[in-house]
Structure 1
Amino acid sequence: MTVTSETTDAGGRAQDVLLSVQDVAVHFPITKGIIRDRVVGHVKAVDGVSLDVRRGSTYGLVGESGCGKSTLGRAVLRLLTPSRGQVWFDGTDVATLKGEQLRRARSRMQMIFQDPMSSLDPRQSVEAALAEPMRAHGVDPGAGGFGAKVKELLNQVGMPASAASRFPHEFSGGQRQRIGIARAVALRPELVVADEPVSALDVSVQAQVVNLLEELQDSLGLTYVVIAHDLAVVRHVSDVVGVMYLGGLVEEADSDTLYDAPMHPYTLALMSAIPVPDPVIEATRERILLTGDLPSPADPPTGCRFSTRCPWVQPGRCTTERPALREVAPGHKVACHYAEEIKAGRVRRAA
């Protein structure tokens, strides 16, 4: 449950905000030459994203493949160094940390990866994998040693103690993801970034893993950033949802508002693709089909990044001026010049 507060710190951020991302960009150089020594451009995977995540809440980040959401998640944890911007974690800008300071900060921020098979060392037993982060960060195992700590972790994620002596290939996908989750919470972090935590799992197992994440959040007081493309999963777990497109955040609102009253044309298209379990409503519902391909982040369109595919694109401003993410209602932000007009039906769709 999100805790609210009206007080702010010296930087003007609400004190209950655990993570504050401010104008973060991650650009990868494009090089040429025999020894790749000439930089001829940049892939703008993330280009100016700002968002706040309140302590104890879940922030859902959605968007199609290639929009930059996973890159942003890695930049938050400093697995990638931002090209610009600030990442404030509990009052400290982790984008500037180095050495021992960064190592200590990382014990408070962990990640759950999409593919548990590739993120677990096939040569390590489960006990070795779960004990490794505790040893690396100098955790005191207590009288029972690391073996007892590992069994406690396994119990927390619904795995038997006998799993400690086995290896990743001996488990199903859902079981491996539970082990990955156990490893992520081994250091009792405050923030967990979950990158597509259930997309590699069978549908029958997804709900179990989602429920486990919620149980751990309640029992350990975790704050989540959940990166996903499954809109149903994001709505179920998230307090606030941000929609990314081509490296930027185009809409942000609380979960119910975003799903019930989306305003950005891209979000409208995403929501229209969600099937409704009512044949009468489904038969009469309008679908918004996007034309064209996702532009290259190495050469994004001028003006609004969505202008090349937007059904409501207007000549002039849409193609020359990039819209800022602005608040159109309390807690509801949209990066669109004509969001209110589109919602009110005052802007016609392009032929």
Structure 2
Amino acid sequence: MSQLMSADTGTNEAAAGGSSLLEVHDLKVHFPIRSGILVDRTIGHVRAVDGVSLTVERGSTYGLVGESGCGKTTLGRAVLRLVDITDGQVWFDGTDLAHLGSEQMRRQRRNLQMVFQDPLGSLNPRQNIQSILTEGLQVHGLSTDRQDTRRRIVQALDDVGMSGRALSRYPHEFSGGQRQRIGIARALVLEPELIICDEPVSALDVSIQAQVLNLLEELQRERGLTYLVIAHDLAVVRHVSDTVGVMYLGSLVEEADSDTLYAQPRHPYTRALMSAVPVPDPTVEDSRERILLHGDLPSPSNPPAGCRFHTRCPWSQPQRCAEERPELRTIAPGHRVACHFAEEIAEGTLQRN
């Protein structure tokens, strides 16, 4: 990835008019661990996000995948400044969000919206749908008069396949899929450029998941939206993403376009995730390679030295993996991997432990 920020000029590619809408450079989010009753002191940090760099092209979908605790949701919230950024830059359309004041960031949030994992918990149960959809317009000064406001929110509901008759009802009166459509409508009503979807279908039935994913793709085509989709389900990410990034313990370990990543995963962690995805063909399912990971995910407050995955990696080489942290390097155009032995593993010249 090219350098996003010049140490001398402070310029970046997005500011120069490039095709990227969002550029995250060396982002770190560390939460302090505190101890003491009379004297509050910091005794360590949870490194939830620890040096992640990625680029989301305008009008595309970037899928961020990894198991629970890898830091992907924290990264999404850091982009929106919903959690404090410890270090790094978040460039959105030429503006570094990481260093904006609160009022400047509030104005930017119209262009960056979020769809949350829990469609019921993200909606205020004491407000009807009209109030929920109107609130954002009022906060950002876009509610000029009642007629215009109603037109906007009815249009947003129509775009997600909901009727304007829903405006007087409350969240508990809808199904999970309908509530998620309302959550999407709440984001759409502000006409944002980027929507961060945090596990947008994980709380829904499988049949409803497909409907919501198809809706997101349709809205992207019609409105030119850009998505950052966060998920643990590899099938979901593959279905909607142009580019996929795999996170492990706060770091990005592999990144490639969707077809390449699923056809030729190079990092051992990605290969293990892929091998756990069921295949509908019984013959292929019975014959394909399984990669089992041993042990639990290490604590982000005390990550292993060297390669953070080496404690669970079937190909780990103690002479190097336990001591030297691998760089996220380019092994093919558009394909980056953080593994010392990615080529040897792919060629089969490095044996498992």
TM-score range, shorter chain: over 0.9
Residue 132 (structure 1) shift: 0.4
Q: Which residue of 2 aligns with 1:11?
A: 12
Secondary structure of the residue aligned to 1:47 is: strand
Query: Structure 2 CA distance, aligned partners of 1:143 and 1:312?
Result: 63
Percent identity over the alignment is: 66
Amino acid at match of 2:242: D
1:349 to 339, 349, 352: 352
Q: How does 1:323-334 map to 2 (within 5 A)?
A: 323-334=326-337
Amino acid at match of 1:11: N
Q: Deviations over 1:203-228 (max 9, x none)?
A: 11001100111111111111000000
Amino acid at match of 2:71: G
Query: Structure 2 CA distance, aligned partners of 1:320 and 1:141?
Result: 60
Q: How does 1:307-318 map to 2 (within 5 A)?
A: 307-318=310-321
2:304 to 281, 293, 301: 301
Q: Deviations over 1:3-54 (max 9, x none)?
A: xxxxxx9424570110000000100000000056110000001100000000
Q: Which residue of 2 aligns with 1:68?
A: 71
Q: Does the CA contact (< 8 Å) of 1:111 and 1:194 recur in 2?
A: yes
Q: Deviations over 1:139-197 (max 9, x none)?
A: 14467232222211111110111100000010000000000000011110000000000
Secondary structure of the residue aligned to 1:182 is: helix
Q: Which residue of 2 aligns with 1:81?
A: 84
Query: Structure 1 CA distance, aligned partners of 2:44 and 2:57?
Result: 36
Query: Structure 2 CA distance, aligned partners of 1:185 and 1:287?
Result: 42
Q: Does the CA contact (< 8 Å) of 1:249 and 1:325 recur in 2?
A: yes
Task: State whether structure 2 residue 257 is matched by structure 1 residue 254.
Answer: yes
Query: Structure 1 CA distance, aligned partners of 2:214 and 2:200?
Result: 12
Task: State whether structure 2 residue 172 is matched by structure 1 residue 164.
Answer: no
Q: Which residue of 1 aligns with 2:287?
A: 284
Query: Structure 2 CA distance, aligned partners of 1:104 and 1:46?
Result: 25
Distance 1:197 1:345, change over 3 A: same
Query: Structure 2 CA distance, aligned partners of 1:137 and 1:253?
Result: 36
Task: State whether structure 2 residue 48 is matched by structure 1 residue 45.
Answer: yes
C-alpha root-mean-square deviation of aligned residues, in Å? 1.3
Distance 1:119 1:170, change over 3 A: same
2:212 to 184, 197, 209: 209
Q: Which residue of 2 aligns with 1:239?
A: 242
Query: Structure 1 CA distance, aligned partners of 2:120 and 2:279?
Result: 33
Query: Structure 1 CA distance, aligned partners of 2:145 and 2:57?
Result: 32
Q: Which residue of 1 aligns with 2:114?
A: 111
Q: Which residue of 1 aligns with 2:191?
A: 188
Query: Structure 2 CA distance, aligned partners of 1:99 and 1:305?
Result: 35
User: Mean alpha-carbon deviation: is it higher for 118-127 or for 132-141?
Assistant: 132-141
Residue 237 (structure 1) shift: 0.2
Distance 1:35 1:182, change over 3 A: farther
Query: Structure 1 CA distance, aligned partners of 2:151 and 2:167?
Result: 10
Query: Structure 1 CA distance, aligned partners of 2:23 and 2:30?
Result: 20
Distance 1:228 1:159, change over 3 A: same
Q: Structure 2 stretches of 5 or more lacking a match? A: 1-9
Q: Does the CA contact (< 8 Å) of 1:86 and 1:93 recur in 2?
A: yes
Q: Which residue of 1 aligns with 2:96?
A: 93
Secondary structure of the residue aligned to 2:303 is: coil
Secondary structure of the residue aligned to 2:286 is: helix
Secondary structure of the residue aligned to 1:95 is: helix
Q: Which residue of 2 aligns with 1:3?
A: none
Q: Does the CA contact (< 8 Å) of 1:141 and 1:149 recur in 2?
A: no
Query: Structure 2 CA distance, aligned partners of 1:294 and 1:243?
Result: 15
Q: Structure 1 stretches of 5 or more lacking a match? A: 1-8
Q: Which runs of 4+ in 1 moved over 4 A?
A: 140-143
Secondary structure of the residue aligned to 2:314 is: coil
Query: Structure 2 CA distance, aligned partners of 1:99 and 1:279?
Result: 55
Secondary structure of the residue aligned to 1:119 is: coil
2:150 to 133, 147, 150: 147
**Alignment coverage as a number of residue pairs:** 342
Q: Does the CA contact (< 8 Å) of 1:122 and 1:169 recur in 2?
A: yes
Query: Structure 1 CA distance, aligned partners of 2:318 and 2:11?
Result: 43
Q: TM-score normalized by structure 2?
A: 0.95
Amino acid at match of 1:263: R
Distance 1:329 1:185, change over 3 A: same
Q: Does the CA contact (< 8 Å) of 1:234 and 1:241 recur in 2?
A: yes
Residue 124 (structure 1) shift: 0.4
Q: Does the CA contact (< 8 Å) of 1:63 and 1:69 recur in 2?
A: yes
Task: State whether structure 2 residue 331 is matched by structure 1 residue 340.
Answer: no
Query: Structure 2 CA distance, aligned partners of 1:33 and 1:243?
Result: 37
Query: Structure 2 CA distance, aligned partners of 1:35 and 1:217?
Result: 53
Amino acid at match of 2:158: N
